[in-house]
Structure formats: structure tokens, C-alpha cells
Structure 1
Amino acid sequence: MTDVLIAGSGPTGLTLACDLALRGAAVRVIDRRTGPHHESRGKGLRPSSLEVFERLGVAGSLTAVGDERVVLRKYFDGAHVKDTPVVDGGLLIGQWQIEGALRERLAGLGVQVEYGCRLTGITQDAAGVRAELADGTVIAARYLAGCDGGRSTTRTLLGIPLEGSTQEEPAMVVGDVRAEGLSRDFWHQWFTSDGAGIMLCPMPGTDSFQLQASPEQDGRGEPLEPSPEGFQRLFERRARIPGIRLTDATWVSTWRVNVRVAARMREGRVFLAGDAAHVHPIAGGLGMNTGIDDAAALGRTLAAALTGPGGDEVLDAYQAERLPVAAEVVADTARRYERVLAAVRTPGRGTEAGLE
């Protein structure tokens, strides 16, 4: 029987796995995906996350690649208006790079992510948890941590509601593209009088930009599915810079506004962390970082349970600490997102409104 089984190998699950392995716990990490992704996704580490990674021994490799100083170049109706440096102690770096550093650290501790493992059932008793996989395998563990994202299978199997609201229409299309000829010294943010926009952020250690844009619409005003061709049309319409082609789209997706928190973060010997427990607007870049903080707190809780007498008092400490934080972060990011939507209608204002 393993000490802790972790479902999900994103930043939250990998942080938890490294934390526990460093404490001497026996850990397994499973993921339903067939292998690692190569998508920028969450791209900003806050100082609190860097402190966690310093303790885990991965901060150095991340700061060697990431960028601590970011300049927002703002345009309005096609004209360059203002440059705004953002120096807040954080680090700009792609999520796939963060996950890669954590996987490498975890491998050095003797643990490999087990891909292609889809969780289909959870049973538990006073002795431990039995996790059933789609191929019929059963993994026995003393505890299970669901770090498997906003569509968490762990949360679904436990029957824990994710309470709040979701906007059905996508708020943005997102992706990773190349844009030869566009300066990589700035996070370019083009906004228009009607509140639409497109942003291209140069991802450190790559030749790509992360694209975020208001969705393209059809003749009836309905949002179109994102596509590389759609990215180009949006760029030409909003950036109004001739001669630049967006190419090599390696990630094409949509983003919807979710403001939701799990009703609880513990069910017996099973815990939720990261997006499995809370999803919220991206303003302020708090999503991935809140999950990393969850992992640090859950690592402390599980280490105490594994090395001491355990019991509900010890296990309840995690939810008591993190559920109020999750609720506040969700409410806070919703307010930040509204500030950004209002700010970008003013020439010279951009996503920095979400940091204020």
C-alpha cells in the first residue's frame, strides 16, 4: 500500500508529490493523459510559489528560464499608447516548463508519473483508499489527493458539488503561436473602443507567444470556435499591424469565466486541491499559485497524519486552512476581472488593473 496516491500531474499534483517524497512518504502519481503537454496555460508564479519551489529545490531552474521583469505595451484602436513595467516579485514562465522542472525533481526522488491511468472508482474505509482504474487495476493507498483539474474525476466520484456560476459563452480564445517580426521585449496588449482585444505575451525560453483574445464572432454575433486562421483574422482586425503572420499554433483553446468553489475539500481519506477545489477568473494570475499553496498545505497535513496518530483533528486542518482561502480568492479574482474589463476601455490601461 502506498502512502499517498495523487490523481493529476499538473503543478498542484507535482508540487504535492515532491513535497511528500522529500518528507520520505511513498507516493504514486497517476494522470489520465497519455503524456506531458507543451502548452503555456498558467504563466505566472507569485513569490509565495517561488518560496515553495525553493524549498523543493526547483526554483533555481525556473528562474534561470523565466522573466522577472515584464513590460506591458498597450495599444488602443491600433495606436501605441503606453508602456507599463510590471515588477512585482513574480516570474513569467510557461506552465509546461514548471511541470517539466517538477517532474525532473520528482524523478530524482524515485517517482515517475504514470500516464494513461483513468480513475473510475473510489472506495475507502478506516484503513485506507482503493482507487479503481479504467483498465481494472486497483491501487491501495492510505490517502488519495485529487489534483485533477476543474473537471476533476475525483470530485465527481466523491459527489462533491462545485458551487457557483459559469458563463456559458467563452470569454476568450487562447493559444500558443509564433509571430515572426513582433518584438519579444513586450507583452503586447491591443484593445479597441468597443472593449474587444487581443494580447500576445512572449513566453521565456521559447520562440512562441501566448495569445489571448476576445472570441471571433459570426454574422449573428455568436462566438466562433477558435482556430489558427481565426487567430490571424483577430490579429489583423485588432492589432492592425501588416506583414505579421501568426504561425505554428501548438495550442488552440477557449476560456470561460467560472466562479466556483467545492462544497468541501475533504471526504474521509480523500482530499481536493487546486482547480479540483476552486476555479475562478484569471485576473491577477492567482489560479495556479493558489493550487501550489494548496499543495504545500496538504503536504503538511498528510505528513502529520502519516507520522503521527492521525485522526480527524489532524486531517481537518487542511480544509480549515484552505477552504476559506479558496472562497476569498474566487471572490477576489471575480472583482479583479471586472476591474480589467472596465480598465481596458481606457487608452493606456491593460491587465495591470488585475494586480491592483
Structure 2
Amino acid sequence: MELNNVKETQVLIVGAGPSGLALACDLARRGVRALVVEKSAALFPGSRGKGIQPRTREVLDDLGVGDAVREHGGPAPVGMIWKEGERQGEHDIFRRAAPTEAEPYGEPWMMPQWRTQEILLRRLRELGGEVLFSAALTGLSQDDDGVTARLTTGEVRASYLVAADGGRSTVRRALGITMEGETVDPKPTLVADVRIAEAALDRLNWHIFLTGAGMLTLCPLPGTADFQLVAQFEEGAPDTAPEAVRALVAARTHLGEGDVTEVRWSSEFKPRAALADRFREGRVFLAGDAAHVHSPAGGQGLNTSVQDAYNLGWKLGQVLRHGAPAALLDTYEQERRPVAAEMLGLSTRIHRGEQERGAAAQQLGLGYREGPLASGRAGLLESGDRAPDGTAGKGRRLFDLFRGPHFTLLAVGTDTPIPSHDGPLLRTFRTDTAGAYGRGLFLVRPDGYIGWAGEDTSGLTEYAAGLGLDLNFA
């Protein structure tokens, strides 16, 4: 609605990147009024964050875009080393694991960032949301009741504002929040999306060309006719003009300039790792690259960003829609900043060759055991752990039961009485066995982590009340 020419909403999201769009989708399905504003005239056009880790695939599936991700993406190709125009053999840089009952996605998935954003925007529109493009933030102020944002299109008044506007975040700078970091590699890097003549190079491998002038890679992007080009330089700013990109390919590979039929997008950067000193200032939150910037080598940036949104979305929903105490929002920084710091360290070590892309990069082992919302343990799991998948009978999976904006109370191998409930905020389910859980009661948060665990219901009602969840065991 608008009041005195000021647009009003519950949550204003600045930035239509992966984190902003994922948050907007999550809020929309919770009935929270949110507005996404983007300073550019359209979505980001490049492939930059192309790797989707197994945990993020679970998140995207829960947000209702799992089928689209499967349709438009594909497994990461195995590397092929080239030297002086000759193939030297394959080299796989990824850990690939077969899907299991508890972990349905075993290997990284690849899809260009522009496609991920396109899919999320389509989902947001299905949920009744929209993005206001060509709307740049010029200033903001906040008080006890909300935030007033000044945009090039007018003013917006919101209960909360989320900065998802990237590593050079205008919001972060306006708040005076510092971002400490380091240059991971002083060598400048060029990244581009190019098309290669079909007869010149196959799309079966991630092609890695080793030359004295520096490494150049060409990775086929599933679901497109494009390759992502990445090239390192010893010094100086790379020339991103199409003719310079074509000349670069000809100089470092066996391909000719004419084999590059199109340069669709190009950019240059220096790999950097940085972490904001806090993720919140009053009613304003930082998410995604606005809060942490990663080297692309670890494939963690987009994934950590989407999971920021996934953590924050349900908490905003509980406070704005279901009467949870505002203190619940404090747990966003308490839970997500340590994870971001851990993933930054991993990305940096992978970039420097100090660690391989192993199980840690898949993000399935991340959790919040030491966080403020973890309470108790039961069976094989502790509160704060990721809630595993498993069979739920009648052709269903546990993830099918968890999918949606609700909490799930799961009773495994126990006769402890629990209410039968299947509503918008809580669902309950009883099963004789779930292999990765063991015996006990587990309250699964809307973001797929175990909030509370126990052998009986002692303390559960009080715990749930702190989340705005009323459990009636009468």
C-alpha cells in the first residue's frame, strides 16, 4: 500500500541477486509482504556463481524450484588438461558421492547464476511477488518502528530492510559497517561467457589450458550453448572487450579467434575474502555478498548467500506473522556469521591449493549445534544438526513432509504422545524407523535443521513458545 506517496511493506529487500530472490520467495510463501528493489534495469546477465552445492539443492527444492533446477542444470563436468594443443588426460577436482537415503544429492550441480536468478524470479511471481527494477537506494534512516528507504523511484517504509546488494553494498556502507578481508590472490582474473563453434571444442569436459602466460579454462554450462571462460593474468587489468577475449582464447589455446562465435558477457576481478563485522544494525540485516565475499574457487559464495536467506526468512515470518519475540531475529547473525567465516576460510584454502574440494564444500555437514536455538539431543542427532532425509512410507520422503514454510514434529520409534496436527505452521509425523535419526522426538525448523530434540516432550512447549509456535499437548 501507499501512504502520503510513501510505499509501505513489511520487508524491503535491496538487491535481486540469489540471496534477495530466495528470501523474497520464502517470505512470500509465509504471507509476509516484501518488496525487492534492484538498481539495475534487469537481472545480472552472467554465469558467475555457477556451482550449486548439495545442501543448496535441498534448499531450492524446499522453495519449490527443485524440478526447474534439475531441468536446467547438470553435473559438473570432469576436467580435461590441455598443454600445447594436446590432451594430457582427465582431472576431476570435485568430490562425487552417490545419493543416499539421508543425502539425496551427492555431487555439485552446475547452472549459470543468471539461470538460477531467472528460476527464482519466476517462482517469486508465482507466489505473487515482484521486483522493482531501476530503483537504486540513495539513503536510509531507521527508528524504533521501522526503516525509511530513499530510492530513485521514491520512498519506501518497511518494518525491516535486508541488504542483499552485493560486495559493494550501498546499504552496508550507509550503515558504516566495516568489512575486514584480504586479497586471496593478487593476480587479476577475467571471467566471461562465450560461445564456441561446435566443431572446435567438445562439451564433455571442463577444459583446462596450461600455458606460460597463465591458466585459462573453458567450462560448458549445462542447459545453455555457453562456456564460462576464466583466465588468470600476472598483472594489469584484463581487457574485457569482445575482440580482446577472442584474442586471449587464441593465444592460450589451440582454438582460433573465429572459433569464439560470441562473447555474451565479461568482467574482471581480483579474488578476495572478506567478512562484515556484524550482520545486523537495528532493523537492517546483511545477507549474501553484502555480508561476506568469497574466492570463487571453493564454489561457496552463492550457496552461503542463499542459505543466509533461508535462515532469515522463517525468523522474519515468525516475528511478523506469528507473534514470536523480536529477539528471535538476533539469532540470524549468531548462527550465520560463524558459518560464513568457516566457508570463507574453506574457499581461501581451496584457492591456494591447501585443501581439496571435499565433503566440507558440499555444506551438508554445516549446522548450529553451538547456536542459541539448539536444545537437546536424541537418538543419533543433536539439535542444530541438519535434518536428514529418509523414507516416510507410502512413497513419500521425509523431505516431502518438511517441504513448505512449517515446522515438523517428528516422532521416531517412540510411543510418546504427540498431537496429530497438519496445519500451516506445524505438521506432526510418527514413524517406526528413520535410519539417520535413531529413537526420539525431533522438532525440525522450517529451514531444515533440528531445533529441539528429546526422549519425551519435557521442555518442548516452552522451547516452541520462544519461536512463536503454540504446542498443545492436552
TM over 0.5: yes
64-73 or 2-11: bigger deviation:
64-73
Q: CA deviation at 1:77?
A: 4.4
Q: What's the offset of the Cα at 1:121?
A: 1.3
Judge conservation of contact 2:247–2:257 (CA < 8 Å) in 1. Answer: no
Alignment of 1:222-237 (within 5 A): 222-237=236-251
> Paired residue for 1:279, among 284, 289, 293?
293
Q: Is 1:188 equivalent to 2:207 in the alignment?
A: yes
Partner AA of 2:126 in structure 1: G
Match of 1:39 in 2: 46
Which amino acid is 1:40 matched to?
A: S
Q: Relative to 1, partners in 2 of residues 1:284 and 1:224: Cα closer, same or farther, differing over 3 Å?
A: closer
- Alignment-derived partner of residue 121 in structure 1: 139
Summarize deviations over 1:186-224 as a string: whole Å, max 9, x none: 1111123x4821111111222111110113x7xxx6344
In 2, distance between residues paired with 1:222 and 1:11? 30
Within-5 A mapping of 1:138-287: 138-166=155-183, 171-180=188-197, 181-192=200-211, 194=212, 196-215=214-233, 222-241=236-255, 245-287=259-301
Once the 2 structures are TM-superposed, how far is the Cα of residue 170 of structure 1 from its aligned partner? 5.2
**Whole-Å separation in 2 of the counterparts to 1:170 and 1:131:** 38
Q: CA deviation at 1:35?
A: 1.4
Note if contact 1:146-1:155 (Cα within 8 Å) is conserved in structure 2. yes
Quote the Cα distance in structure 1 between the aligned partners of 2:164 and 2:138. Answer: 15
SS at match of 2:336: helix
Q: Which among 67, 72, 83 is matched to residue 65 of structure 1? A: 72
The structure, 1 or 2, with the larger RCO (C-alpha pairs under 8 Å, 6+ apart) is 1
For the residue of structure 1 that corresponds to 2:318, the secondary structure is: helix
Check whether the contact 2:250–2:257 (CA below 8 A) recurs between aligned residues.
no
SS in 1 for 2:75: coil
Do structure 1's residue 13 and structure 2's residue 32 form an aligned pair?
A: no
State the Cα distance separating 1:355 from its structure 2 match: 6.1
**RMSD (Å), alpha carbons:** 2.4
Partner AA of 1:284 in structure 2: G
User: Is residue 2:295 matched to residue 1:288?
Assistant: no
Match of 1:54 in 2: 61
For the residue of structure 1 that corresponds to 2:140, the secondary structure is strand
Give distance in 1, aligned partners of 2:351 and 2:326. 37
Q: Distance in 2 between matches of 1:120 and 1:310?
A: 32
Q: Cα 1:65–1:138, aligned 2, differ >3 Å: closer, same or farther? A: same
Tell me, yes or no, if the aligned pair for 2:30 and 2:317 is still in contact at 8 Å. yes
For residues 16 and 318 of structure 2, the distance between their equivalents in structure 1, rounded to whole angstroms, comes to 23
Q: Distance in 2 between matches of 1:17 and 1:156?
A: 23
- Which residue pairs with 1:347 in the alignment? none
Aligned match of 2:352 in 338, 341, 352?
338
Q: C-alpha distance in 1, partners of 2:24/2:157? A: 17
- Where 2:74 maps in the other structure, the secondary structure is coil
- Residue 148 of structure 2 contacts residue 157 of structure 2 at CA under 8 Å; is this kept in 1? yes
In the TM superposition, residue 312 of structure 1 has moved relative to its aligned partner by 5.1
Instruction: State which drifts further: 287-296 or 307-316.
Output: 307-316
Q: Is 1:22 the counterpart of 2:29 in the alignment?
A: yes
C-alpha separation in 1, matches of 2:261 and 2:321: 52
Structure 1 unmatched ranges of 5 or more = 344-350
* TM-score of the pair, normalised by structure 2: 0.68
- Secondary structure at the counterpart of residue 64 of structure 1: helix
What letter is aligned with 1:65?
Answer: H
Q: In 2 relative to 1, CA 241–115 (structure 1 residues): closer, same or farther, beyond 3 Å?
A: closer
Q: Does residue 111 of structure 2 align to residue 97 of structure 1?
A: no
Give the share of equivalent positions with the same residue, in percent: 38
Q: Structure 2 CA distance, aligned partners of 1:330 and 1:271?
A: 19
* Structure 1: distance between partners of 2:193 and 2:222: 12
Distance 1:84 1:244, change over 3 A: farther
Partner Cα distance (1:287, 1:281) in 2: 8
Distance 1:104 1:223, change over 3 A: closer
Residues 182 and 244 of structure 1 are in contact (CA less than 8 Å); yes or no, is this contact kept in structure 2? no
Size of the aligned set, in residue pairs, is 342
Give the deviation of 1:154 after TM superposition: 1.0
Q: Tell me the distance in 2 between the aligned counterparts of 1:146 and 1:243.
A: 41
What residue number does 2:320 align with? 306
The Cα offsets for residues 90-113 of structure 1, whole Å up to 9 and x where unpaired, read as 211111111111111100111111
Of 80, 88, 96, which aligns to 1:81?
A: 88
How far apart are the structure 1 equivalents of 2:121 and 2:282?
28
Helix, strand or coil for the counterpart of 2:41? coil
| Preserved CA contact (<8 Å) 1:283 1:355 | no
